[in-house]
Amino acid sequence: MTAVCEPAVYEKVALIGLGLIAGSMAWAMKRDGTAGEVRGYARSAESREMTRRLGFCDVVCDDLAEVVQDADLIVLATPVGVMGRVAETIAPHLKPGAVVIDVGSVKRTVIEEVAPHIPEGVHFVPCHPMAGTEHSGPASGFASLFDNRWCLIVPVEGTPEAEVARLESYWQRLGARTERMEPEHHDLVCAVVSHVPHLIAYTMVGVADDLRRVSDQEVIKFSAAGFRDFTRIAASDPTMWRDVFLTNKEATLEILGRFTEELFALQRAIRTGDGEQLHAYFTRTRAIRRGILQAGQDTDKPDFGRTR
């Protein structure tokens, strides 16, 4: 029996920025025909040429006006710090009824900078696929990136319910699970589960680099799994993470303050030899890890299932 393909959710999709997330979206759309045509644009000529060679976009455009022409869905997949300027540039070229989304990990600032440029009759629906790797660039994308991962949808006031529901269907076709969230709550949650952990990883690798200078190559040579995972996270795109911290200051600083308090408490327990407190703390945090595994958001295979 021949399988029946579902119709496309959007006929023409425009990807602005051709890195890990946009590339993975394109491959996932091709996997089951979620879009009729996928167009792409990147500021870098090198990225555009690589995308042409890889073939995950049907058309690669050399300017923003061309890529959004007649597009039904426009995806802002650039660093969050430039999304406002991109929105201002494409605004005159958006067709009535089009939907603009972003895939950044900060929402309040993006809404403030993008929404004023969205023309009447065009809908802006911020999104955040909670999936990624430490790799970047057009060659880093793959179709299964969003499978069983969460995509948070953060509708702005006045967005028609039908457009939000359509986007939920779109992300679900890409393999994701969806949940709606308010902007401020989104930014706080992401500070906890993503932004501060990345900042800590960058800091720990920086400290290790300082130690390496006084202990020759030992820190690198004898790196165990824990430090290796810090370096994996700290290998993420520096431009993207610079913009994340500059645009999500309040939530990041709030969680950093709480982290510092916890760190001081652990420091005191170690200094005073309070093994009972340390054991209780580690038992509680171990349970959180088990909850992540039970939710299907990671694997308990050795080395987290990585082969390299």
Which helix H or strand E contains 185, and what residues bound it?
A: helix 183-190
CB 151 within 8 A of CB 173: no
CA separation for the pair 18, 49 (Å, rounded): 11
| 112 assigned to some structural domain | yes
* CA gap 196, 141 in Å, rounded: 24
Answer whether residue 5 is part of any domain: no
For the record, the structure tokens of 73 come out as: 């869905």
- pLDDT at position 98 is 98
pTM: 0.81
Answer yes or no: is 4 within a domain.
no
Indicate which CATH number applies to the domain containing 278: 1.10.3660.10
Q: Is residue 75 part of a domain?
A: yes
Amino acid at 195: H
| pLDDT per residue of the chain (308 residues) written in tens, 0 to 9 | 334 468 999 999 999 999 999 999 999 999 989 999 999 999 999 999 999 999 999 999 999 999 999 999 999 999 999 999 999 999 999 999 999 999 999 999 999 999 999 999 999 999 999 988 878 899 999 999 999 999 999 999 999 999 999 999 999 999 999 999 999 999 999 888 888 888 888 887 777 777 666 555 666 666 666 677 777 777 778 888 888 888 888 988 998 898 889 889 989 999 999 999 889 888 888 887 776 666 666 555 544 444 44
Instruction: Clarify whether residues 142 and 235 are in a common domain.
Output: no
Q: Other CB atoms closer than 10 Å to residue 107's CB: what's the count?
A: 26
Final residue of a structural domain among 132, 148, 181? 181
The count of domains in the chain is 2
- Separation of CA 298 from chain center: 16
Q: What are the contacts of 7-10 at 24+ separation with CB within 8 A?
A: 7/33, 8/33, 8/34, 8/35, 8/36, 9/34, 9/35, 9/166, 9/169, 9/170, 9/173, 10/34, 10/35, 10/36, 10/72, 10/73, 10/99, 10/170
47 and 144 share a domain? yes
Both tokens assigned to 223 = 């790196």
Flag whether 70 is in a domain: yes
Residue 137 and residue 224 in one domain? no
Instruction: Give the model's pLDDT for residue 194.
Output: 83
Give the list of residues 6+ apart from residue 64 with CB closer than 8 angstroms, or none. Answer: 16, 41, 86, 89, 90, 93
pLDDT at residue 297 in the model: 61
> What letter represents residue 71's amino acid?
A
Identify the bridge partners of residue 16 per DSSP, sorted by sequence position. Answer: 41, 76
Of 211, 195, 204, which is closest to residue 254 (Cα–Cα)? 195
Total length of the chain: 308
In this structure, the answer to whether residues 177 and 191 fall within a common structural domain is no
Which of 119, 148, 181 finishes a domain? 181
CA dihedral for 128, 129, 135, 141, sign (positive or negative): negative
Alpha-carbon Rg for the chain in angstroms: 21
Of 132, 163, 181, which closes a domain?
Answer: 181
Cα dihedral 44/42/153/238 (nearest 10) = -10
pLDDT at 248: 85
Looking at the fold, whether 109 and 192 belong to one and the same domain comes out as no
Domain region containing 150: 10-181
Name the one residue in this structure whose structure tokens are 């430039």: 82
Burial label for 231, CB within 10 Å (0-12, 13-18, 19+), is middle
Whether residues 202 and 176 fall in one domain? no
Measured distance CA(278)–CA(260) in Å, rounded: 16
